[in-house]
Amino acid sequence: MKKNTLKKVLAMALAGMMALSVAACGQSSDTAAPEAASDSAEVKKDKVITLTIWNTEVTTPGIQDNDVARVIEEKLGIKMDIVQGDSQKFSVLVAGGDLPDIIYTNPAQQGVEANALITSGQLIAMDDLIDQYGENIKKNFPSRLDYSKKYVSNGEDKTYFLPVLCYTVDEENPDISYTIENVGLMTRWDVYAAIGYPEIQTTDDYLNVLKQMQDYARENDLAGGKEIYAISGWNDWGLWPWWLANVREMGWQDLSNGAIINKATEEVDLNYHTDAFWESLKFYNKAYNLGILDPEAFTMKNDQFWDKCNNGQVLMAYASWQTDNMNKTMASNGHPEWGFEKIPFSGYPYISGIVSGDAPLGNASDYATAITTNCEYPEKAMQLIDFCNSEEGARLLWSGVEGTHWEMKDGKAQPTESYQKLIKEDASYTTSTGITLYNKLCGFKETQILSDGSPANVLKSNEQKAQNILDIDKEYCEYYSEQRGEEFLYPGMVLNDMWQKEEVDTFTNYILYTSLVQAPSDETLNILAQCDQYMNVQGVKAIMVKDEAEFDAAREEAMTELNAMGFEKAREEILSLYEAAKTDASSFEIK
């Protein structure tokens, strides 16, 4: 890859700051593409070029050779070479000026803020490329471009990042999620059923039920001799397992830079300053003292957590994107009777995403697509990005190849019979074909209804959800059908019925201003990074204390130490930025 001297110097400066997970500061440099980029316009249509792409979800990095990748190569003349890694690898790539051609931003995973990538001179402003090659980008969810220029450009009014995974609600046909959508506590339904469906009202009730479930699972050796714990976790995402799902079920939504918002009151605060955060840690402290929290949770990696869940060693998980896959894996491994489901109870009254809500800016700055100055063929990179923001590209990325994985039938896009058969027989079949692997490049959320009347992911229509239900999901629906006197075709319909009858709550309101927050100062980012490093240790210590008195003391100690680091000063700046964003929201137009 070609690198100019200025970019190299700025990258090294940024890397030094990233040792403390601090975003680099300084005047933005001119980020024009390197000289070799001019050659890309002369690439012949029949010449296949290779683009390197950052993607942490692909388990087989390198040149992609699957059904989806082959269609992209044939249609666009582009081979995708996936670069994968953790925050440490991303830091090394930044330091050396060796970022792949296309990246997405995720500060939590990468340890670097979006603006820092701009100020280090490593990104191309995409405005001219979008004007020439971005017809689909300009047509679909155009508000993203206004947002990117104003809020994710380091004040330059240029398009460095393109938000992805946008969604517009179909009011006449709301999308009812298959279970929950995204993050929430999920429980092994088969074990819960085996102990007689005990009533759960409070979080203490839930913990006691998990203890009963653990005892039953161990007594009956459900994991074939392996140790079973009701709750486990992992340490390579910081404190993520120990607070995020819990605060969402208390009615809070996580935002950037450690902020969370109470979606009922629209009150914003930093997570460490809220009772909700500390109540979440206390939940796991109680679990630890009940003997139902896996001690290896504090040293394991995320993939080890998945392995334990798939092996039947863990009885609670944290998100539907975990359990949807785990349930299929357990079924294909000979245990269709195993599986995780959502057990509603009043102690945690909110359930994430019973129905999909509007997301005109997608994930905003999280996972937003960018082209780096290392890219020798920026025009080809933009052609790929624009294709992924078209309806044709969205259907390919989410549903696979027409005629092989989906087809038009009775006026609707539907999965082929062979595809439905294969995904039931092999839980890894979808990813082995490339389907859903490259979704972070897609402008459309998988449930977005396209112009042909079907969702981008043909498996996500309400009809297909009912048709492709797993055995464990049938048992869940049958139980609640008997309890409630209603017919439920898949688990999400149970939760939707409870929501409609005001027995549980969810959120459908789109709060615009939380996406319009300007980046905080480098001083504040530095403070927050140090606070996070401290809390990654102190939070675990709080979970492992022996009683409530020691927990309260650990909380008090933590807040004293955080304030000594400047936490309160950083908090004041973050809250002021959210207040300013409220004013901006009144004049920001969603197109």
Q: Judge if 249 and 201 occupy the same domain.
A: yes
What percent of the chain is modeled with pLDDT above 70? 91
| DSSP output for 432-485 | HTTTTTTGGG-SB-TT-B-TTSSBSSGGGSHHHHHHT--HHHHHHHHHHHHHHT
Longest dimension (CA), the chain: 71
Under the banding of pLDDT at 50, 70 and 90, the label for residue 31 is very low
pLDDT at residue 108 in the model: 65
Q: Which of 480, 512, 544 is the last residue of a domain?
A: 512
Same domain, 83 and 190: no
Overall number of domains in the chain: 2
Q: Is position 563 within any domain?
A: no
pLDDT band at 29; cut points 50, 70, 90: very low
- Residues 62, 122, single domain; the answer is yes
Q: Is residue 357 part of a domain?
A: no
Looking at every residue in the chain, the average pLDDT score rounds to 90
Domain that holds residue 480: 183-352+469-512
What does the pLDDT look like over 247-303, one tens digit per residue?
Answer: 999 999 999 889 999 999 999 999 999 999 999 999 999 999 999 999 999 999 999
The region of weakest confidence among 13-22, 32-41, 129-138, 223-232 is 32-41
The answer to the question of residue 103 being in a domain is: yes
Q: How far apart are CA 25 and CA 119, in angstroms?
A: 7
**Could you write out the three-class secondary structure of 345-356?**
ECCECECCCCEC
- 52: helix, strand or coil: strand
Nearest CA-CA partner of 328 in 303, 305, 307, 310? 310
Residue 576 domain flag? no
Residue 571 in tokens: 């908090």
Domain-located, residue 419: no
* pLDDT bucket at 30, cuts 50 / 70 / 90: very low
Same domain, 124 and 153: yes
Type of residue found at 441: L
261 shares its domain with 392: no
- Residue 468: name the closest of 126, 114, 43, 178 by CA: 178
The conformation of residue 517, written as its DSSP 8-state character, comes to: P
Domain boundary among 512, 541, 572: 512
Same domain, 100 and 215: no
Is 9 part of a structural domain of the chain? no
Q: Judge whether residue 149 has pLDDT over 70.
A: yes
- Do 394 and 311 share a domain, yes or no? no
Are 246 and 105 in the same domain? no
pLDDT classification of 59: cutoffs 50, 70, 90: confident
Are 22 and 158 found together in one domain? yes
Tell whether 24 and 123 lie within a shared domain.
yes
Instruction: Extract the tokens encoding 438.
Output: 């490259």
Residue ending a domain, choose from 512, 538, 573:
512
> For residue 23, is it left (φ>0), alpha (ψ between -120 and 50) or beta?
beta
Domain assignment present for 4: no
CATH number at residue 339: 3.40.190
Dist. CA 388–CA 397, nearest whole Å: 8
Nearest alpha-carbon partner for 293 in 259, 327, 316, 264: 316
504 with 349: CB under 8 angstroms? yes
Please compute the mean of the pLDDT values over residues 24-52 and round it to a whole number: 51
Please check whether residues 130 and 199 belong to one and the same domain: no
Name the DSSP class of 28.
Answer: P
Under a CB-based contact definition with an 8 Å cutoff, are residues 150 and 165 in contact?
no
**Reduced to 3 DSSP states, what percent helix, strand and coil does the chain have, rounded to the nearest 5?**
45, 10, 40
Distances 71 to 74, 182, 371, 445, 455 between C-alpha atoms, Å: 5, 29, 22, 20, 20
Q: What is the CATH number of the domain that holds 37?
A: 3.40.190.10
Encoded amino acid at 539, one letter: G
Q: Does residue 591 lie within any of the structural domains? A: no
Ranking 360-369, 422-431, 512-521, 549-558 by mean pLDDT, the lowest is 422-431
- Quick one: pLDDT band at residue 109, thresholds 50, 70, 90? low
Query: Within 10 Å of residue 552's Cβ, how many Cβ atoms?
Result: 14
Higher pLDDT, 532 or 30: 532
Name the residue among 479, 419, 261 with its Cα closest to residue 350: 261
Q: How confident is the model at residue 236 (pLDDT cuts 50, 70, 90)?
A: confident
Q: Could you report the per-residue pLDDT of 577-591, keeping only the tens digit for each?
A: 999 999 999 889 887
Nearest one of 69, 37, 41 to 53, comparing CA atoms = 69
- pLDDT per residue over 489-530, tens digit each? 999 999 999 999 999 999 888 899 999 998 899 899 999 999
Q: What is the pLDDT of residue 361?
A: 94
Residue 445, judged by CB atoms within 10 A of its CB (0-12, 13-18, 19+), counts as: buried
For residues 144 and 248, membership in a common domain is answered with no
